[in-house]
Amino acid sequence: MRHRHLSYADWSRAEYAKAFLSLILGEVSDGEHIKKLTERLSKLYAPGVAYPLNFGRSAIRIALKVFGTRRPGCDEVIIPAYICPSVIDTVRDAGFKVRFADIGDDLNIDPSSVATLLNDKTLAVIVPHMYGCPARITEIEAVCQAARVFMIDDAAQVVGIEHEGRLLGTFGDVGILSFAQSKTVVTGVRGSGGALLLNNQDLTCDISKACHDLPAARHRGQAFLHFLWNYMWLRYTGTSGYYFARLHDALHLGKQEAEHLACIANLDAGVALAQIDRLPLIHRRKVLIAEMYFEELKKLQEIRVPQYAPGRYLSRVMLLLPPGVSADAVRTSLKIAGVETRVGYQPPIANERSFSSAAGIAKRLIEVPSGSDISAIDVQKICTAVRDSLRSHSSVGDLSHETYQTPYQG
């Protein structure tokens, strides 16, 4: 049986070559790639200025700190209820209160929910584009401007995609990028990179002061090998990752450091440059794969690709199962059929009224393989397996009651 795996990165030889050269030359932490990446990103996101960092969350931390000094009485930050949990932790660790906004069908923050949460304590709104699907950010930008509230364009999952003629990441006061696993530009895991994009020039002084002279991230050589072993080569290395970790500990290599603010390491910056060179190809493949899933599934009314639109880039393909179907049961039968899946993010507290839609949608989402090794035949097989599993886990009668409206149901 052919196994169909999730993918963590779309890498060519160029990414490996850049990384191994940094290792061989002993330029893992510092080196010329950092400056080159700074220039490359600043050019891409002009007239904004880019500051490459070790994490996307480092950019959020720095931005919130700067915002806080500008509006001392404001301590609430609005974020969507469906989001990467590290964002929730980052906001709280920075000393702010999190207010959760609901999401729409596209899994993105709902502008009307943002508007109802705004008050005179609101410091900022964080607007992510989940799995690359653009949020309704122009509307939210206008709302934030009118309310004199800061806005972070959280483009962690998407690099180089335009929306209404502007690159995602350039809306609001600052933008953020992340280069962690399963994003668009991937250099590794946990601290492999990210960037702060400065859009509002009034903040230039404070932001550049906070980002300048940050040390380059350390221990990235071991982190890189860990990424290869436990993510990129997982299908070959299997459970040996466990022994690898034991060996790693026994040799006292790279102890887990507390998350600290740092600039991106040279090794990771080199990989990021190679990834940015290949962005058009990476985008094109993902557009095609989303299209193939949509075409396969539109015959089955009950399963949706909720973020799909013709020609739209999606970094990951999420399927929305019908209400009442257990995502766990579907995932188990897919696993037996050789298809690896993942669940979506879990909303923080279930049954909260302010985000009932997020709570309802999140538990019905499964991620299916969408890496560059996935062919049209694979997509067909995966979709057949999903359908078979749905048939066996719910009575067909139940499904026929449900009608699903997809804007692009062809």
Ligand X SMILES: *Cc1c(COP(=O)(O)O)cnc(C)c1O
Other Cβ atoms less than 10 A from the Cβ of 69: the count is 8
Q: Which of 12, 65, 86, 388 binds ligand X (CB under 6 A)?
A: 86
Residue 347 near residue 358, CB atoms below 8 Å = yes
For the record, the structure tokens of 183 come out as 């994003």
Restricted to residues 144-163, the positions that interact with ligand X (CB under 6 A) are 154, 156-157
3-state SS assignment for residue 345? coil
Complex with ligand X: residue 217 or 359, whichever CB lies closer: 217
Q: How many residues bind ligand X (CB under 6 A)?
A: 14
- Decide: is 56 part of the binding site for ligand X (CB under 6 A): yes
- Report which DSSP code applies to 109: B
Q: Does 55 bind ligand X (CB under 6 A)?
A: yes
Shortest reach from residue 326's CB to ligand X, in Å: 26
Q: What is the CA radius of gyration of the chain?
A: 21
Q: Does 87 bind ligand X (CB under 6 A)?
A: yes
Joined together, the tokens standing for residue 94 give 């920075």
Instruction: State the Cα–Cα distance between residues 176 and 259, nearest whole angstrom.
Output: 17
Q: CA angle, 159 as apex, 81 and 142 as ends, to 5°?
A: 55
Nearer to ligand X, 159 or 290 (CB): 159
**Which member of 6, 50, 62, 84 binds ligand X (CB under 6 A)?**
84
In degrees and rounded to multiples of 5, residue 50 shows phi and psi of: -105, 140
Q: Any contact of residue 194 with ligand X (CB under 6 A)?
A: yes
Q: How far apart are CA 92 and CA 59, in angstroms?
A: 15
Task: Tell me the pairing of strands 150-154 and 194-198.
Answer: unpaired
E-assigned strand segments in 31-115: 49-53, 76-80, 97-101
Compare residues 71 and 190 and give the one whose CB is closer to ligand X. 190
- Of the two residues 11 and 55, which places its CB atom closer to ligand X in the complex? 55
Residue 178 found at the interface with ligand X (CB under 6 A): yes
Contact status: 180 vs ligand X (CB under 6 A): yes
List the one residue from 31, 111, 128, 344 that touches ligand X (CB under 6 A). 128
Under the binding rule (CB under 6 A), the answer on residue 172 touching ligand X is no
Q: Shortest approach of ligand X to residue 405 CB, angstroms?
A: 27
Binding site for ligand X (CB under 6 A): 55-57, 83-84, 86-87, 128, 154, 156-157, 178, 180, 194
